Copies of this chain bind each other. A is one copy, B any other.
């Protein structure tokens, strides 16, 4: 791991624990056994560090959309659910900073992240609309439904513990039928609601 990545990881942990404003560059340096000043050989500012962390999370989420399989909307939305939850769980500190601290970015950083966030939500809305066109989802307000689903998925960062009873795979299997149900998509193609969609056994 390069020095820059070490800095991002340490800062990601500190920002996720105490918040961006309450974490100083000096504290990030201390977590790496460095002098505060020497960090500036690697970073421009604390805000740049926040931006890199938020950007990395945003890019991992964007990768979920790029990696969606071809196929029906039910399969695609369950792949989205599993992929999204995997990012939240695997990148817990980065995802936490992405959810909480991105609003502290100033322009032009903030606009870039807002574009990524909006694009991601639009992709989910598109998946929902695909399913409506296919006749496998019934949704009155795809925009609201996308916000509902994203909220349910994102909130996992608040309670997920690697030592809890559910690993990322179980989580995906448990959430997929809940999402399909919310979208009015259950049982339409003869797949029973639970263990439904492409949730592997």
Binding site for B on A (CB under 8 A): 18-22, 99-100, 138, 140-141, 144-145, 147-156, 158-159, 166, 171, 174-175, 177-179, 181-184, 186, 193-194
Contact = CB atoms under 8 A, between A and B. Distances in A.
Given A150-B155, A177-B184, 10 more contacts: A20-B22, A21-B22, A140-B194, A144-B178, A148-B152, A148-B175, A155-B155, A178-B182, A184-B186, A184-B194
Copies in the complex: 2
Contacts of A150: 155
Between A20, A21, A152, A177, the greatest number of chain B beta carbons within 10 A of the residue's beta carbon is seen for: A152
Nearest to A100: B100
A175 B147 CA distance: 10
Nearest to A137: B181
Contacts of A194: 138, 140, 184
A188 to B, nearest CB: 11
Contact of A166 (B99, B100, B138, B144): B144
Contacts of A182: 152, 178-179, 181-182
Nearest to A143: B165
B19 A177 contact: no
A178 B152 CA distance: 11
Given A100-B100, A182-B182, A183-B181, A151 B158 contact: yes
A139 B156 CA distance: 18
Given A100-B100, A151-B151, A181-B181, A144 B175 contact: yes
Nearest to A155: B151
A158 B186 CA distance: 28
A195 to B, nearest CB: 8
A39 to B, nearest CB: 20
Contacts of A178: 144-145, 148, 182-183
Between A147, A179, A193, the greatest number of chain B beta carbons within 10 A of the residue's beta carbon is seen for: A147
